[in-house]
Structure formats: structure tokens, C-alpha cells
Structure 1
Amino acid sequence: METASNILREIDTHIVMVTRHARPGVLRRALAAGVKGFVPKSTPSEKLAEVILAVVSGARYVDPEIAASALIGTDCPLTGRELDVLRATTEHDTLAQTAEALHLAPGTVRNYVSAAIAKLGVSGRHEAAQKAWKEGWI
């Protein structure tokens, strides 16, 4: 999403995101970043061409299966910042690394992780991140 946001800050354009991470949480972040089209990597080339033409014409396109999953998925009990921390947890080995990557104090990260663990009823930060991924929140 960061790349899409950076592009859209610099250039007035439309972005179609083709991803292997076609999950509801990723969709929500992509739309918030300004992406106009969102399709899974498995989209046939003919369909992708149609989506690109539609988006260039000013339409928005979201793969129907992903949209349905996002609509019927479990409501996320976590705050945006808790999700950010869990997302970063999947990319970093320690809380200190996560804190540094998010420009937060380690104690703040620990508090967000503790809150997420309690809300999700799991025993650790990696389990919390896995549950959030499975539910499509991150």
C-alpha cells in the first residue's frame, strides 16, 4: 500500500493492484490508499485487460469474491494501530525491531500487542498475527 500511496502523491493516475494477498484486510488498505482496481494474481489476462480499461475510464473494480469476503467477514475487534503492530510483527523478529520499524517506543508496542492478544484470546503475538491474517484483517 505504501507504494500505491507514494505513486498517487506524485502522479495523478489510477492504480490496479494485482496481488497474491487478495484478502479483505489488504483490500481495505488498498482502497484507503487510493487504489481503483483490486484483483487477485490468478485473474485471467482477458479479465485483467477489461479491468484496466474500466479503471482508466474512471470506474472502480474490486474482484467480486474478495468484495463478498470483505462484506461477510468477521468484524475486526482490533484498532488500526493494533493491526499495524501485528502486521509489523510478521516482518520482524523482536518487539524492539517492530517498535523501530513503526517509530514507536518498545513499551507502546508491547501495550498494543497485549491488547490484541487479550481481544483475540490467544497466547502470544505471533498467534495473534496469524489469527488476524487468517481472518483477513491484515
Structure 2
Amino acid sequence: MNDSNPAATKIKVLLADDQALIRQAFAALLNLEHDLEVVGQASDGAEAIALAAERRPDVVVMDVQMPEHTGTDSGDGIAATAKIMAENPSVRVIIVTTFGRPGYLRRAMEAGAVGFMVKDAPADQLIEGIRRVHRGLRVVDPTLAAASLSVGASPLTERETEVLAAASHGGATSTIAGTVFLSEGTVRNHLSSAMGKLGAATRAEAVRIATENGWLP
């Protein structure tokens, strides 16, 4: 709630979050600020991409996990961030999420986000974060930044990563094999190797570990 020139151009903000109550409450808070204006609200990544192209916001506040939009791969907030940045490199994206995982931070930064904050941060901190990224600064939760640096490089090979990424969408081994153009036996071998390296008892657990550490695309 900083005092600045009320005549100055407002920072245009787009909010993307599948939880309407959270999104609308945050919009109401932002619109109370004399230098901020919410120009759109999206419930998934695909809608965020469309609204960003239409409304041309200065800052996008993007949730990470949102439901998939039928027929697209842009329901995920990080995938949507990459698409928005490709279409409008000048926009500044802050990822705001309940899931404070180092892997999300790494993927968000690779997608072009300049901020990563958790939803339980104080409202004033989130609001100031919008102002800071608009000024060209980065805003990253310090605990997550430290955790991300401590994770290290992926132990998975390129093929193991590809197979595990395909497995993250579910489906039988035959489906995964068709996706990555490998035999079912080879897919099973890669999955088994990945699980061993990650200390996972199941395919789903291996996907979770790799995702949380930022080792899946």
C-alpha cells in the first residue's frame, strides 16, 4: 500500500487460478491499490493465454496446477507461461502456488517467469511482488530458492526422462511405447531404471519425485 503518484499509469494485472474464490478475492485486493488494475481473470492456462493476447497485461499472476483445457496442453500454469512469454516477451509472470516445490520453481524460471511465490505469503508481500517485477526485478521465495539450489542435476538419462514424462500422463505401457516410439520392453526397462535411480516403488511415485525436483519437462 505504497504512496505514489495517483496520476501514474496503472499496472495492468491478469490473474489465472482455477479456484474462483481465491482469484476473485485477490482481484478485489489488487483493485483497492491505486496503482494496480485487474484487467482479466482466467480459470485455466488456455484462457490465460487468450486473455493475455487480448488484454495485454503488464503482469500475469499465474497458478501452477489448473485443470487441463480440453484439446490443449496449456492447462498447466508453467506451460501457459511459456506460451504467453513466446507471444509477448515483455510481460512479467509471477507464479503463485500452494505447492512450494523446488521443481516448480526451476520449471517456472525456465518458462520465463520472473517471480515465484507461495499462496500463504502475506497479501502485502504478493502485492509488492507485482510492483517489483513490473520494475524489472525478480521475486522468488527465499526458502524455495535455497531448496532449488540444493536439488542438483537430474540422475535420469535423456531417454528415461522422455519415457517418464510420457508416463506422467497415465496410460498403459503400450500407450507410452507408442508415444515415444519404443518397444514395450524398452519402455519397461527405462521405467524400471528411472524408478531405481529415484528410489521409487511405483511409476507414479517416480513421476512425483522427478516433477517435484524439476527433472521432467
With normalisation by structure 2, the TM-score equals 0.52
Unaligned 5+ segments in structure 2 are 1-77
Which among 80, 97, 116 is matched to residue 3 of structure 1? 80
The equivalences for 1:59-74 within 5 A come to 59-73=137-151
Instruction: State which structure, 1 or 2, has the greater radius of gyration over its C-alpha atoms.
Output: 2
Give the alignment's Cα RMSD to 1 decimal.
Answer: 2.8
For 2:158 and 2:103, the matched residues in 1 are separated by 11
The number of residue pairs the alignment matches comes to: 136
Corresponding residue of 2:124:
46
The equivalences for 1:34-113 within 5 A come to 34-73=112-151, 75-79=153-157, 82-83=160-161, 85-98=163-176, 103-107=179-183, 109-113=187-191
Check 1:124–1:3 CA distance in 2 against 1; reply closer, same or farther (3 A cut).
same
Residue pair 2:163, 2:190 contacting (<8 A) in 1 also? yes
More strand by share: 2
Residue pair 1:15, 1:37 contacting (<8 A) in 2 also? yes
Unaligned 5+ segments in structure 1 are none
Corresponding residue of 2:193:
115
Bigger CA drift: 6-15 or 70-79?
70-79
Check 1:88–1:47 CA distance in 2 against 1; reply closer, same or farther (3 A cut).
farther
Which protein, 1 or 2, shows the higher relative CO under an 8 Å CA cutoff with sep ≥ 6?
A: 1
Check 1:133–1:65 CA distance in 2 against 1; reply closer, same or farther (3 A cut).
same
Bigger CA drift: 70-79 or 2-11?
70-79
Check 1:50–1:113 CA distance in 2 against 1; reply closer, same or farther (3 A cut).
same
Identity in percent: 39
1:22: how far off? 2.1
DSSP-derived class of the 1:16 partner = strand
More helix by share: 1
